[in-house]
Amino acid sequence: MGDSLRRVLVTGAAGRLGGAVLGELAACGVAVTALVVEEAPGSAADRVVVGDARDPGAVADALDGVDAVIHLAALASPEVAAPEVVFGTNTQATFVVLNEAGRAGVGRVVLASSLSITGLPFARSTPRPQPAYLPLDTALPSRIEDPYALSKQVDEATAAMMHRRYGMVVPALRFPFLGDRERLAAHAARLARDPASGAAEVWSYLDLRDAARACVMGLTGREVAGAPVLFVAAPDTLSATPTRELLAAHLPDVPCRVDFAGHVVPIDLAPARAVLGFTARYPYPVEGRVRCEK
């Protein structure tokens, strides 16, 4: 990998996923430039650029000597800022990073998208919207009600446009709930106490180490072309309750196109396997889960 990737720019490198990506690239022997809003000690990147991903000048500086980009910089929830700030920050950063990368001749950019693009996790309407069918896939009709999900929809459209404009390969990875073992354990405990709270995300998750691997595989995979959109998640749910029981109790009216035996997550992960060759290596241990209370 080190021979094909000389230097990778990681935006949002100070975030939870950003740190995992820096570690994964370092383990692969790839030089890294980190674009961060504020410099912090202990970065695994050998070059750090302090600047905003919405600033073309800062991004152009960070792209010096770079031949690939992993774009993670974003406000990660509709609840962290005013709606116009969440939407504007995320979409402008994605446009600037991809446009500057295209102008610089960068051939591939991995874009962090989100399962929240379905519109379900942050929906406020009553009754809460449900998916048109399961498993979740990229053809699922959107039920977006919040600025974060809308920003991800625009980000994916921007990726497709930049592919047409510059010929860049721009895979967008739709991530579920991400965490290290401690964060996943806390989330599993919440789902055990209130299993209904996991229905909007179909009880999905992914270990940060796997999320970082998926990002790097998006840069190196030979089958990646154009601007594919891929759900990336662990193959099982983060619940001790079998998937059929979860669906029967909390999404009983949603048509299921396949039989979800065991704890299989109701997301179509086949495209990620076919395009990236990705399967999760770090499933959360079954013995660490607590069965959901009925």
The tokens describing 275, both together, are 């395009």
Listed range (29-38, 105-114, 250-259, 279-288) with the worst mean pLDDT? 279-288
Rounded average pLDDT over 78-106: 97
Mean pLDDT of the chain: 94
Domain regions of the chain by residue span:
7-127+135-181+204-238+265-285
pTM: 0.94
The tokens describing 58, both together, are 């800062």
- Give the closest residue to 172 by CA, choosing from 216, 218, 210, 204: 218
CA distance 97 to 95: 6
User: Is residue 290 pLDDT above 70, yes or no?
Assistant: no
For the segment 139-183, what is each residue's pLDDT rounded down to a tens digit?
Answer: 999 999 999 999 999 999 999 999 999 999 999 999 999 999 999
pLDDT > 90 in the chain, percent: 89
CA distance 273 to 267: 13
CA distance 152 to 72: 12
pLDDT > 70 in the chain, percent: 95
DSSP classification of residue 237: -
Rounded average pLDDT over 100-122: 97
The tokens describing 191, both together, are 């789902």
| CATH number 3.40.50.720 is the correct assignment for the domain at 7-127+135-181+204-238+265-285 | yes
The span from the first CA to the last CA of the chain, in angstroms, equals 48
Q: Provide the residue type at 36 as one letter.
A: V
User: Is residue 2 pLDDT above 90, yes or no?
Assistant: no
Give the per-residue pLDDT at 47: 93
Residue 175's alpha-carbon distances to 38, 43, 66, in angstroms, are 25, 24, 25
Bridge partners, residue 7, by sequence:
31
Listed range (156-160, 245-249, 289-293) with the worst mean pLDDT? 289-293
CA distance 258 to 46: 47
Residue 229 pLDDT grade (very low, low, confident, very high; cuts 50, 70, 90):
very high
